[in-house]
Amino acid sequence: MAGEELIELKFRLFDGTDIGPNKYDPATTIGSLKEVIINRWPQDKENAPKTINDVKLINAGKILENNRTLAESRVPVGELPGGVITMHVVLRPPLSDKNNDKVKTDSPKSRCACSIL
CATH number at 91 reads 3.10.20.90
User: Do the domain assignments include residue 111?
Assistant: no
Q: Model-level pTM?
A: 0.71
User: Do the domain assignments include residue 106?
Assistant: no
Q: Considering its fold, how many domains does the chain have in total? A: 1
User: Do the domain assignments include residue 30?
Assistant: yes
For position 93, what pLDDT does the model report? 72
User: Do the domain assignments include residue 114?
Assistant: no
The span from the CA of 109 to the CA of 117, in Å, is 22
User: Do the domain assignments include residue 23?
Assistant: yes
Domain interval for residue 34: 2-96
- Residue segments in the chain with a per-residue pLDDT below the cut of 50: 1-3, 77-78, 97-99, 102-108
User: Do the domain assignments include residue 110?
Assistant: no
For position 54, what pLDDT does the model report? 92
For position 77, what pLDDT does the model report? 47
